[in-house]
Amino acid sequence: MNSVNTLIKNPKPEDKKHNGKNYDRIKFSEKLATAKKNNPFVYDSYVEISKSLLDYQLHSRCASSGESFRIHRKRFAKITIAGKRLKVYLAIKPDMLKETKIPYMNVSAKKSLEDVPVGIKIHSKLALRRVLFLIKNMLDPIMLKKEDIKPETQIDE
């Protein structure tokens, strides 16, 4: 009986964390749906980047934090929405971008993004073109696009 009274009088510290309010994380799919209505540039950029990645036969996986693009367990890109901007994380070495004019963030220290260490914010058409250029340079030496694959020709006997 005393233990119940002490629990009521002394709430756990987690209960006081946000003044009793529960802040849930907004899922990526919900952010994408609101971006489609309110911010068409973000949605159009997302569609263009994802089409570019899917052209290289990468598989997409949509999670609550964002959408990842991978093949054979190797992640090449991740797309998230933060506020009114799109963020794209790519599997490029940050040292390759040091001498370029492309603004990027080195996020290799974050454990969840260590395999995609370069983060780029998409806030303009120029930033979108730069990301598409980086995707092309990252994946062209490794993979073939769908339209580059020729169907096997049958030999008539």
Give domain status of residue 10, yes or no: no
Q: Give the distance from CA 89 to its chain's centroid.
A: 6
- Which carries the bigger pLDDT value, residue 1 or residue 30? 30
Give domain status of residue 3, yes or no: no
Domain interval for residue 99: 24-142
27 CB-near residues (< 8 Å, 6+ apart): 64
**Residue 133: which CATH number?**
3.90.1150
Give domain status of residue 19, yes or no: no
Looking at residue 141, its pLDDT comes to: 82
First-to-last C-alpha distance (Å) of the chain: 91
How many separate domains does the chain show?
1
- Which carries the bigger pLDDT value, residue 141 or residue 93? 93
Give the pTM: 0.77
Order the strands of the 74-82 sheet from edge to edge: 59-62, 67-71, 74-82, 85-90, 118-122, 105-106
